[in-house]
Amino acid sequence: MKSFIKKNKYTIIVIAIFLVFVLVLVQLKNIFFPDQGGALYGSRLDGIEKVAIKKNTLKEIENALSKEESIAQVSTFTKGRLLNVIITMQDDASKETAREMPAKTLEHLQEKQKKYYDIQVFLQKKNEDASFPILAYKHHAKDSFSFTKDR
């Protein structure tokens, strides 16, 4: 055995240095890129499949809001636990009328969905207006919307 080690001592040293180098690289990767393969939202989306907002519910919200005279266009989408509603108001719509629209988005959601999702409503106009855009936000634990500061 001693003769094998003596004959191949340089090869053994190179292999040992290579193994140490690989172990150091793995540790550096773990330090600089932790949890690289994990879920984007972690465990925050646990249970979302039980209260998922389906595409037809989003279409119901869009259709119901589109019937309002003061609304020109509506689009909705979800991302994680966030429901976004973008409402483009007619140019003659008032700020007070616009502030009533976020509550109408809740009419088509189930109670458990209201308690799970945060809801953002972006109210804008096609043309510039000093009192627009208005942002309304409802936290899942709250019952009402909070609005951006009046301009």
Indicate which CATH number applies to the domain containing 92: 3.30.70.2960
Domain count across the chain: 2
Contact criterion met (CB below 8 Å) for 86 and 74: yes
In this structure, is residue 39 part of a structural domain? no
Task: Give the confidence band of 104 by pLDDT, cuts at 50, 70, 90.
Answer: confident
Backbone angles phi, psi at 17, to 5 degrees: -65, -40
Task: Give the confidence band of 2 by pLDDT, cuts at 50, 70, 90.
Answer: confident
Task: Give the confidence band of 27 by pLDDT, cuts at 50, 70, 90.
Answer: very high
In this structure, is residue 37 part of a structural domain? no
**What is the C-alpha to C-alpha distance for residues 98 and 132, in angstroms, rounded to an integer?**
9
On whether both 55 and 6 belong to a single domain, the answer is no
On whether both 93 and 22 belong to a single domain, the answer is no
On whether both 105 and 66 belong to a single domain, the answer is yes
> Is a pLDDT exceeding 80 seen at residue 109?
yes
On whether both 26 and 56 belong to a single domain, the answer is no
> What mean pLDDT, rounded, does the chain reach?
84
Residues contacting 96, CB < 8 A, separation 6+: none
Domain around 11:
2-32
pLDDT digits (tens, 9 = 90+) for 33-92: 876 666 666 677 777 888 888 898 889 888 888 888 888 888 999 888 899 999 888 888
User: What pLDDT is stored for residue 26 in this prediction?
Assistant: 93
